[in-house]
Amino acid sequence: MTSATIAPPGATSAPGGATPPPPPRRRRRWSRSAIFGLVFVLPAALYVLIFQLVPVVYGLILSFTTYSPLSRSGPEFTGVDNYTDLLGDADFGNALLVTGRYVLQVLPITVVLALGLALLVNRPFKGVGLFRSALYVPHIVSLTAVSMVWLWMYSQTGLFNEILGFFGAPAQSWLLDSDSALNAVSAMRIWKALGSNMVLLLAGLQSIPKDLYEAARVDGAGRWATFRYVTLPGLRPMLVYVVAMDIIYLAQGFAEIYVLTQGGPLGSTTTVNYQIYTEAFQYNQMGSASAMAFVLFALIIGFSVLAVRGVMGRQK
């Protein structure tokens, strides 16, 4: 006997026992909220596309060409010549060294001091709100304005030399000496970055559950053990963010260099970003300047990844 296949209720049988085709799918209509969301997002998306992504792509194309805005001819394709020329460029090599030294001078001191200040203002005391606000004020002021104030403070008749004169010490040429110029710029940048880093680390401290500190206290952990095994692990994600963002901002240092030293004396403060500015807008070599920019971009990505791995440590 042959068993007959019983079709499920509501199903129609096709001739010859074939499976009927599935019903056609209805086109998904955009809801009114989705349309309004797209309308609101579209201006920002167009801004990012036109003013950020397109210039980046155009700069990448220019990095493989030789081009000067003063010439009547357009960009001429030269392949990777701009990148290979940078390998033997002594000025670019010096700019890389200055940029690396600048980052290494500012980053550790800024993070350590900001962490100490965050631990200090995380405890309630009279006037803590005013103290936090005063520390955050330098971050609000533009870097150019801050650099102008510090330019006066470093001048021969500025605040720092007045303090030295009060103690009977001779005046110093802070920004005119190749041995002290980058240190002077670094001191200004440390002061400028302390407030923002402190606020971020303070937010990280306040996000650590209080139960962990109570458990450590019950277990008899001291202050150092609590800081090492509770505070630092809980603060690690915010530390990673602070270190990565500081590397990105410091490696692109330009405004403070332009205002305070203009790359001098003798190239001792010429960072890569300032070298790119000189190559592009003083020598009108847009192709080589674009190549420098993408080399700097690659280095920032590489060092940021290394720094993040160093802060995060080995994750199980």
Residue 39 pLDDT > 60, yes or no?
A: yes
Kindly list the distances between the CA atom of residue 247 and the CA atoms of 50, 122, 270, in Å, as whole numbers in the listed order: 27, 25, 17
pLDDT of residue 7: 53
Kindly list the distances between the CA atom of residue 290 and the CA atoms of 57, 83, 193, 272, in Å, as whole numbers in the listed order: 11, 10, 28, 12
State percent of the chain over pLDDT 70.
90
CB 154 within 8 A of CB 282: no
Measured CA to CA, the distance from residue 222 to residue 209 in angstroms comes to 18
Measured CA to CA, the distance from residue 87 to residue 96 in angstroms comes to 11
CA nearest 213: which of 200, 229, 202? 229
Residue 15 pLDDT > 60, yes or no?
A: no
Residue 30 pLDDT > 50, yes or no?
A: yes
pLDDT of residue 133: 86
> Helices (DSSP H) in 178-231: which residue ranges?
181-206, 210-218, 223-226
Domains along the chain with CATH numbers: 81-312 (1.10.3720.10)
Tell me the average pLDDT of the chain: 88
CB 184 within 8 A of CB 175: yes
> 3-state DSSP call for residue 76?
strand
Residue 4 pLDDT > 80, yes or no?
A: no
Kindly list the distances between the CA atom of residue 97 and the CA atoms of 5, 100, 251, in Å, as whole numbers in the listed order: 81, 5, 11
State percent of the chain over pLDDT 90.
65
Higher pLDDT among residues 239 and 17, named by residue? 239
pLDDT tier at 19 (50, 70, 90 boundaries)?
Answer: low
pLDDT of residue 316: 44
Q: Tell me: the pLDDT tens digits for 91-113? A: 999 999 999 999 999 999 999 99
CB 276 within 8 A of CB 289: yes
pLDDT of residue 1: 47
> 3-state DSSP call for residue 198?
helix
CA nearest 143: which of 259, 50, 230, 244? 259
Mean pLDDT of 73-87: 91
* Contacts (Cβ under 8 Å, ≥6 apart) of 150: 188, 260
Q: Tell me: the pLDDT tens digits for 151-162? A: 999 999 999 999
Q: Tell me: the pLDDT tens digits for 267-292? A: 999 999 999 999 999 999 999 999 99
Q: Tell me: the pLDDT tens digits for 211-261? A: 998 998 888 888 899 998 999 999 998 999 999 999 999 999 999 999 999
Joined together, the tokens standing for residue 51 give 């003013």
pLDDT tier at 134 (50, 70, 90 boundaries)?
Answer: confident
Measured CA to CA, the distance from residue 278 to residue 99 in angstroms comes to 15
Measured CA to CA, the distance from residue 85 to residue 57 in angstroms comes to 21
Higher pLDDT among residues 164 and 10, named by residue? 164
